[in-house]
């Protein structure tokens, strides 16, 4: 199986002096996801939690909604010409009776889960596809607690400390407890791993929880939160306009620029117990 980190030679310049040394880098390899033996998608990821990544991807696409929908997840043997296993091809076998997705879902290209969708069509697709709409989730969070979450996530990023090159996704309870954390070269992969592990543990929908992601909040990350029934998505950087539109459409609380206790709440502010407003 692939390694999470790899070593490479680097020339380092410090204080005008150059020298060579080994450096630890985050590994990046392709993962092909097959559904019932048929190629579905390829994503670039950090090896590890591949089965959870594949299942989480299928939740995001509306194919599965519980562990009962999945019969088996396996690495594909003979993935290379010499018959060896690269551990870069995963097959998800659906349980009997679970409908295969429409042919329009299939993308034999490098993909993100929102690939091929845009604008109003994207919003309509997610709203009608989710099994766990978050709009009615009654969770409320003190603004102080929300402000503490980035430090808690950062403290749990083990691989980032060695490489400085990974994104993270953390799942928190309404009381601020870190329930799970995953790291990957792609934010969407880290989120899929979080969701896939929740499916495997029988914990979907993820009601009453907060998903915190490093970097920005794109449409695809908001989509994944909605599809998993997560009511609050927070990011340390900016959201996209379509992510904000989806949050309003689906009843998702969306927070951006969450740093040092400061934040912008773009949608669903009723879930956050706010201080008195100045203007």
Compute the 3-state secondary structure of the chain and give helix, strand, coil in percent, each to the nearest 5: 30, 30, 40
Catalytic residue among 115, 118, 135, 155: 115
Q: Is 115 a catalytic residue?
A: yes
SS3 240: coil
CB 119 within 8 A of CB 242: yes
Distance from the first to the final alpha carbon of the chain: 55
Locus of tokens 């670039």: 44
**Distances from the Cα of 185 to the Cα of 33, 92, 182, 239, angstroms:** 17, 22, 10, 19
CB 90 within 8 A of CB 75: yes
Q: How long is the chain?
A: 279
CB 188 within 8 A of CB 212: no
Q: Which two tokens stand for residue 196?
A: 């896939």
Catalytic residues: 115
């Amino acid at each position: 199986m692939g390694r999470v980190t790899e070593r490479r030679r680097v020339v380092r310049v410090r204080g005008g002096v150059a020298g060579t040394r080994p450096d630890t880098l985050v590994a990046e390899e392709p993962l092909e996801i097959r559904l019932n033996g048929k190629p579905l998608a390829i994503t670039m990821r950090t090896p590890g939690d591949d089965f959870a990544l594949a299942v989480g991807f299928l939740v995001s696409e509306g194919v599965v909604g519980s562990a009962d929908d999945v019969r088996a997840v396996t690495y594909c043997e003979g993935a290379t010409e010499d018959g060896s296993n690269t551990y870069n091809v995963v097959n998800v076998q659906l349980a009997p009776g679970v409908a295969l997705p429409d042919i329009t879902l299939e993308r034999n290209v490098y993909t993100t889960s929102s690939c091929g969708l845009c604008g109003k069509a994207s919003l309509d697709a997610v709203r009608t596809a989710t099994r766990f709409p978050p709009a009615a989730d009654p969770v409320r969070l003190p603004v102080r607690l929300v402000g503490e979450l980035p430090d808690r996530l950062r403290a749990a990023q083990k691989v980032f400390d060695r490489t400085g090159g990974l994104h993270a996704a953390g799942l928190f309870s309404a009381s601020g407890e870190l329930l799970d954390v995953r790291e990957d070269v792609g934010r969407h992969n880290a989120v899929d791993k979080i969701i896939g592990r929740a499916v495997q543990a029988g914990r979907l929908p993820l009601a009453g929880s907060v998903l915190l992601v490093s970097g920005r909040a794109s449409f695809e990350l908001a989509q994944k939160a909605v599809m998993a029934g997560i009511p609050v998505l927070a990011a340390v950087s900016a959201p996209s306009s379509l992510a904000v539109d989806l949050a309003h459409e689906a009843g998702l609380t969306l927070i951006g620029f969450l740093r040092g206790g400061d934040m912008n709440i773009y949608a669903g502010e009723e879930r956050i117990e706010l201080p008195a407003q100045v203007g």
